[in-house]
A and B are shown apart, each in its own frame.
Chain A
Amino acid sequence: MSKDEFYIGWQEEMPPSNKRFIKRILIGLFILIPLFLMYGVLFQKPFNHHQFEFGTLTELTGIYHDNPVPILEVSNEDSTAFILLVGFGKFGAEEIISDIEKEQGNLDGKEVTFAGTLIYGDGVTLLELTNQEDSYVSSKDLKTENVDEVEDLGEFEWYGEILDPKCYFGVMKPGEGKIHKSCAIRCLSGGIPPVMRVIPHYGSEYNYYLVRGKNGEKVNEEVLKYIGESIDYSATITQQNGWKVLNIDLESIKAERDYDLKDLDVLNRDDYE
């Protein structure tokens, strides 16, 4: 570099040799960066097709059930859907329903109309009561009495991941795994019912179960530390208002990261039925 080509930043122009060199570096970067980004995006884990109809309120009418969690049973000529009700933000629907019931009386077993935001995917639908108590539109008594049956489906010993259903079924992508763990903890802590995602022994599609305690009690706080990771557990299964419920034995829960090498045979899925 000659004396004339010495670079000084406070001068108006840089020496031509510096300019040529920097130009070559920049051209290289402008070519490499898109290739690098393309490479990164290409291998990214795909997102699911779940939907959150943000900004669109939908009115749904159906039979409201308090148990095992707030559910709206919506029927048409062809089918019946058991829609989980959740609150705005990272909250469950229980407090909102309780506030509505202070004004309207007990809603359990009545035909109720709610306005809210739909969340749906993989055969599961949720309704966010976006406007809180104002999500209530109307209610009326049914002509025939609603019978709330609990069907016992036996014992179950398997593995799966506890999810926050509101985010998983549409509000966030991804709404599962390590990245989403903190958010799922907040959601369950706020009362959104935990859901266990399970891959059946024979099959490749997920099954979803509501998670309750051994005696059907709420266990949101107790399962917070296991959210977003694969866990093994024992439970009994019941079915109530269209949802299968895992009445989980909390003491049986074991995170797979806690297994020692000698326990690895426990993880052999073929042993499970």
Chain B
Amino acid sequence: MSVNYTSVQWNNQKKGYDKILWLGIFFTLACFVGFQLWLHPEITAETLIIRATAIIAFLLLHIILAIGPLARLNTKFLPLLYNRRHLGVSMFLIALIHGLFSIIQFHALGDTNAIVSVFTSNQNYQAISEFPFQTLGFFALIILFLMAATSHDFWLNNLSPRIWKTLHMGVYIAYGLLFLHVALGALQYEDQPVYWGILISGFTVISSLHLMAGIKETRRLQKDQTLLREGGFIEVCHTSEIPEDCAKTVFVEGENIAIFKYDGKLSAVHNVCKHQMGPLGEGRIVDGCITCPWHGYQYKPEDGQAPPPFTEKLKTYEVKILDEKVWVNPVPKEEGTFVEPAKLEKA
């Protein structure tokens, strides 16, 4: 969390994350260059750079896309999610080297402007096997640039979380373009089916993880439709089902609600973090505040307000306890409205 913007708020975790990330990038680069020079010593330096950066960037993109659903399926992956934007910016820089070298190699020093040549040299747009695949990579690079350039929280706050999130969902369009860039480019040259196997395996892993995370969420939402209703309140669970300092989530009447148990009390807030729409109900009470599992944004459970000097506010909900059952009123209060917590009877 931050009030003033700094380029990066470093801590030991972030430093470690970046060290391992760049160690991994240089390790991958060294392995690729080593294997190429060993098995194909005739390769030119330009081809080596273009292929190495392509492999590393595409591999990083797969890792970036896998982290989201993996963190939804297993919270142990959350440390990878926290600094995912560092992965994204690094991936863009590597993809940029690939793009620049390719444009210089294949289009510069000719009779046409190099950028214009990307779009005009090969115009077989109607033939799949001859499709000008470089244009697909060019547009993917533009999307990756927009995402990297707006990755800082400054842009998140100024664009609003919804617009920012929508913009950053562009990563899936970029992935689709790059999938086709590889399929209609390099794989039209290489004649071994093993490369199709690798490309399709990558797609299968990414789509399966998203599907599994989606199924998990859908099951939770469907289960919530069978809850008992009375006097505007909805029965959620037995009080013992909510662990101390944790939450139970419920999705009713279009409201995504997290009910937290802390200090012998229960409070309910909107289950979506104001920062990057993280699942607050998977967070914890830390230092008396609800703490988002994604990036650690905090809110007071009674009124949904971030502790001063922060200004984010959540919708709040009425909660009551009847016969050790937790009931919640899904009609939301204004963001930041204090709601008296329901008190648990001491055992």
Contact = CB atoms under 8 A, between A and B. Distances in A.
A105 interface: no
A17 interface: yes
Nearest to A185: B121
B24 to A, nearest CB: 7
A266 interface: no
Contact of B40 (A46, A180, A186, A255): A46
Nearest to A224: B121
B284 to A, nearest CB: 4
Interface string B97-141: 000000001111111100001100111100101101110000000
B42 A47 contact: yes
A90 to B, nearest CB: 4
Interface string B72-88: 00011111101100000
Interface string A216-244: 00000000010011000000000000000
B107 A44 contact: no
A45 B47 CA distance: 13
B185 interface: yes
Interface in B291-332: 291, 293-296
Contacts of A30: 24, 27
Given A11-B13, A172-B105, A186-B121, A90 B291 contact: no
A99 to B, nearest CB: 16
B111 A7 contact: no
B194 interface: yes
Interface residues of A, number: 59
A179 B32 contact: no
Contacts of B293: 6-7
B134 A8 contact: no
A123 B134 CA distance: 32
Contacts of B109: 88-91
Interface in A155-206: 172-174, 177-183, 185-187, 189-190
Contacts of A177: 188-189
Contacts of A13: 12-13
A183 B107 contact: yes
A7 B80 contact: no
B43 A47 contact: yes
A252 interface: no
B14 to A, nearest CB: 8
B153 interface: no
A41 B36 contact: yes
Interface string B2-35: 0000000101111000001000100110011001
A183 B106 contact: yes
A44 B40 contact: yes
A45 B191 contact: yes
Interface in B235-262: 244-245
Contact of B189 (A14, A33, A178, A225): A178
A12 B31 CA distance: 32
B111 A90 contact: yes
Given A26-B20, A40-B55, A257-B129, A6 B284 contact: yes
Contacts of B190: 43-45
B286 interface: yes
26 contacts: A6-B283, A6-B293, A10-B11, A10-B295, A10-B296, A12-B12, A13-B12, A26-B20, A33-B24, A33-B28, A37-B31, A39-B194, A40-B194, A41-B40, A45-B189, A47-B42, A90-B111, A91-B109, A91-B110, A91-B111, A172-B105, A178-B129, A179-B185, A179-B186, A182-B121, A229-B129
Closest 3 CB pairs of A and B: A89-B109, A9-B82, A90-B110
Given A8-B286, A26-B20, A45-B190, 14 more contacts: A8-B296, A11-B11, A13-B12, A14-B13, A25-B77, A41-B36, A43-B190, A43-B195, A44-B190, A172-B105, A173-B44, A177-B189, A178-B189, A229-B130
